[in-house]
């Protein structure tokens, strides 16, 4: 049985600077989204990729994927996204045929995820885990701050309220993999009328169901392109791969 991958790519990417939506920004001349789709399609298990595009660019994204000189040997679909990442994922999931039982969600903004990481996530779901997340140890010490008090100046000094034990923290990546029914239920139960959930990843919604989520080793090359410096790093990783 094949697995499907949903690629939320409908974000604007303001942190990367003004311009085209982040998923369409070029990395080595090729949009981030195209890199991400190729990375997923390299995994034997993936038979369908559903790209969730900015609503005003659905046709352009479809054309972009069709134009690729070597289209990957997987089925590709493009659907319009929503106002939040979670709404985009929900719209992508609605397009996945019911018969597909393993569904991955992978950020377009993680263009360089190695195929071994994708394979490991699919394998863990197939082995019976309802929710699987690739993760790495946290290298920076992390401080917790209080909720923003009224009147605190943006960029001004922030009072620290605690320092969580770093050895108990993990930084999580995508693709996150799910048993389809679990992911569908998590999204149904936690989306409000606008589709918003307040969650920054899909596994958090599954955690709220009380369903166990497990981690598998992530990979440093699965980093998310968020800020301009991340594009510099991504170019360097690609250059090293070509050696």
Considering only 31, 82, 130, 218, the residue that binds ligand C5P (CB under 6 A) is 82
Number of H helices, E strands in the chain: 7, 12
Site membership for ligand C5P, residue 182 (CB under 6 A): no
Site membership for ligand C5P, residue 88 (CB under 6 A): yes
CA distance 133 to 213: 7
CB of 44 to ligand C5P, least distance (A): 24
CB of 128 to ligand C5P, least distance (A): 28
- Nearest residue to ligand C5P by CB is 11
Considering only 5, 108, 132, 199, the residue that binds ligand C5P (CB under 6 A) is 108
Nearer to ligand C5P, 94 or 160 (CB): 94
Nearer to ligand C5P, 35 or 180 (CB): 35
Stretch that binds ligand C5P, among 4-12, 124-132, 146-154, 231-239 (CB under 6 A): 4-12
Site membership for ligand C5P, residue 84 (CB under 6 A): yes
Nearer to ligand C5P, 80 or 114 (CB): 80
Q: By three-state DSSP, how is residue 61 classified? A: helix
Burial of 226 (0-12, 13-18, 19+ CB in 10 A): middle
CB atoms under 10 Å from CB of 174, counted, come to 28
CA distance 174 to 125: 14
Q: By three-state DSSP, how is residue 47 classified? A: strand
- Phi and psi at 131, nearest 5°, equal -150, 130
Cis peptide before 175 (omega within 30 of 0): yes
Helix (H) / strand (E) containing 125: helix 115-126
Site membership for ligand C5P, residue 190 (CB under 6 A): no
Site membership for ligand C5P, residue 81 (CB under 6 A): yes
Of 40, 42, 22, the closest CA to residue 231 belongs to 22
CB 40 within 8 A of CB 118: yes
Site membership for ligand C5P, residue 197 (CB under 6 A): no
Site membership for ligand C5P, residue 204 (CB under 6 A): no
Site membership for ligand C5P, residue 23 (CB under 6 A): yes
Site membership for ligand C5P, residue 176 (CB under 6 A): no
Considering only 3, 4, 5, 9, the residue that binds ligand C5P (CB under 6 A) is 9
# of chain residues touching ligand C5P (CB under 6 A): 18
Q: What is the DSSP letter of 56?
A: G
Positions that interact with ligand C5P (CB under 6 A): 8-11, 22-23, 52, 81-85, 88, 107-109, 224, 226
């Amino acid at each position: 049985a094949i697995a499907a991958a949903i690629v939320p790519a409908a974000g604007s990417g303001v942190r990367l600077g003004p311009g085209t939506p982040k998923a369409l920004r070029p990395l080595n001349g090729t949009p981030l989204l195209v890199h991400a789709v190729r990375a997923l399609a390299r995994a034997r298990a993936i038979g369908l990729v559903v790209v969730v595009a900015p609503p005003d660019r659905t046709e352009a994204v479809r054309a972009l994927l069709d134009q690729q000189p070597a289209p990957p040997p997987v089925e590709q679909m493009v659907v319009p996204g929503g106002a939040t990442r979670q709404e985009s994922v929900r719209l992508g999931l609605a397009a996945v045929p019911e018969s597909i039982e393993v569904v991955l969600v992978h950020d377009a903004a993680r263009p360089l995820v190695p195929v071994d990481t994708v394979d490991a996530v699919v394998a863990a779901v197939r082995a019976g885990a309802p929710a699987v997340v690739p993760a790495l140890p946290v290298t920076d010490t992390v401080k917790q701050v209080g909720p923003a008090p009224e009147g605190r100046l943006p960029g001004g000094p922030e009072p620290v309220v605690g320092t969580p034990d770093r050895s108990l923290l993990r930084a999580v990546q995508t693709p996150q993999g799910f048993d389809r029914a679990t992911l569908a239920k998590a999204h149904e139960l936690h989306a409000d009328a606008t589709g918003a959930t307040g969650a920054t990843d899909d596994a958090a919604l599954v955690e709220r169901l009380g369903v166990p989520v497990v981690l598998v080793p992530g990979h440093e090359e699965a980093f998310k392109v968020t800020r301009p410096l991340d594009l510099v790093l991504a170019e360097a990783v690609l250059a090293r791969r070509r050696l």
